[in-house]
Amino acid sequence: MKAFLKAGIAFAIAGAGLAHAATELVVATVNNGHMIEMQKLTPFFEKAYPDIKLKWVTLEEGTLRQRVTTDIATKGGQFDVMTIGMYETPIWAKKGWLKEIATDAAYDVDDLLPAIRAGLSEGGKLYASPFYGESSMLMYRKDLADKVGFKMPEQPTWEQVKEFAGKAHDPKAGVYGMCLRGKPGWGDNMAFFTTLVNTNGGQWFDMQWKPQIDTKPWKDALTFYVDIMKSYGPPGASANSFNENLALFNEGKCAMWVDATIAASFISDPKQSKVADKVGFAQAPVAVTPKGANWLWAWALAVPAGSQKVEAAEKFVKWATSKDYIKLVAKEQGWHAVPTGTRKSTYATPEFLKAAKFADAEKKALDTANPNDSTLPKSPYVGVQFAAIPEFQAIGVAVGQQISAALSGKVTIEQALKTSQAAAEREMRKAGYYK
């Protein structure tokens, strides 16, 4: 009898343990500053939701894209929450790979910035919640501009930027005139380089979906890019993407940097940046046209359709992309450190506007980026720094490798464009866009 009683008690205890076993959510994200901060705030989420535990998989941008794309396409089920962007969201939603984000009044979906919300929606429904949004802009050293007598316009031309780069370039003092992305990848160097192509009057595809890479606007853009980086860039620039350039700028080694607006909160933070009090902001530079000169992107959280933990995953997604999360970061780190580019309410908060001297330039960049009209000639695709078609990922990677090779001097500008054009034509033919 006692044995049965002991077994019964043991079973009851085990059962009670099972009843309270926490749901483990595996969250795949990118190794950017705001995501690292989100991981530090895990205890706040787990306190609010004691039945959910978070397990983080933090990866470099290119690796993250490969891993989540493979996982969702093969229904691998490795991740319960994925960090994806404006490129993947509408394509994957159309394929039925993502759960629609079920929002309530507390979440206030109408508070999301219209361009960001639209980019993460398909058929008027939200399929990924923006964690932070970004455009691109010019960040520069005001002290160096004053020193060489250069007045930065609110929206400079690339020729004006090159002039300042030449004056400020002082490698002996460890200062380089211009820092730009060089690392190959459709979301690395090609995010920046496509905007340079756009403003030079180029595009990825014409209205018949024919690639337009081996053309004058692309040649003008690549010639300028290689020239400015060889003349005034840091050594080894072809290996640098966002994080590498951020580190260089924070060390005081870049006179200028054109990149994601989200960088502004890091370079103006005295805890991270040696030049925090010397930074100025301007709109992304223009050449032939202002169209497509600044990109539009959001890193967002999505739930794969095949997830076995949808309810818990949705709780986390809503928590991490809410107004309350922004207030939590402000309380823990200060208003200058909050993830920006997602909500109207952030830009209506006096404390944020006071702490973030970049707020006006960032908001203007976000408001002027138009993914539906980003090229001078008419284009058949949506997207500023990418074309929202499944084939673009492979094309962007192939072209990114050629652009990086041209920057490092491994191939000529002409070779890079010719090889890129052939690779793009091959992919588009294979996909049946034309014969």
State the average pLDDT for the chain.
Answer: 93
Amino acid 20: pLDDT: 56
Least confident of 3-12, 169-178, 213-222, 419-428: 3-12
Mean pLDDT within 71-81: 93
Amino acid 6: pLDDT: 47
The torsion of the CA quartet 329, 332, 335, 340, rounded to 10 degrees, works out to -20
Give the Cβ contact number of residue 290 at 10 Å. Answer: 16
Q: Are 119 and 113 in contact (CB under 8 A)?
A: no
Instruction: Output 428 or 434, whichever has higher pLDDT.
Output: 428
Angle (deg, nearest 10), helices 216-232 and 392-407: 50
Model pTM score: 0.87
pLDDT digits over 255-280, tens only? 999 999 999 999 999 999 999 999 99
- Could you give the percent of the chain with pLDDT greater than 90? 89
pLDDT digits over 9-68, tens only? 444 444 444 445 789 999 999 998 899 999 999 999 999 999 999 999 999 988 999 999
Amino acid 9: pLDDT: 47
Mean pLDDT within 167-178: 98
Amino acid 302: pLDDT: 98
Instruction: Output 5 or 304, whichever has higher pLDDT.
Output: 304
pLDDT digits over 83-94, tens only? 999 999 999 999
- 232 has pLDDT over 60: yes
> Cα separation of 104 and 106, whole Å?
5
Amino acid 61: pLDDT: 87
Least confident of 58-67, 135-144, 150-159, 325-334: 58-67
Q: Which residue from 60, 65, 26, 59 is spatially nearest to 42, judged by alpha carbons?
A: 26
> Cα separation of 86 and 88, whole Å?
6
Amino acid 17: pLDDT: 44
What are the two backbone dihedrals, phi and then psi, of residue 134, each rounded to the nearest 5 degrees? -150, 150
- 164 has pLDDT over 80: yes
Mean pLDDT within 320-347: 95
- 356 has pLDDT over 70: yes
CA distances from 221 to 30, 141, 200, 213, 370 (A): 29, 24, 6, 11, 20
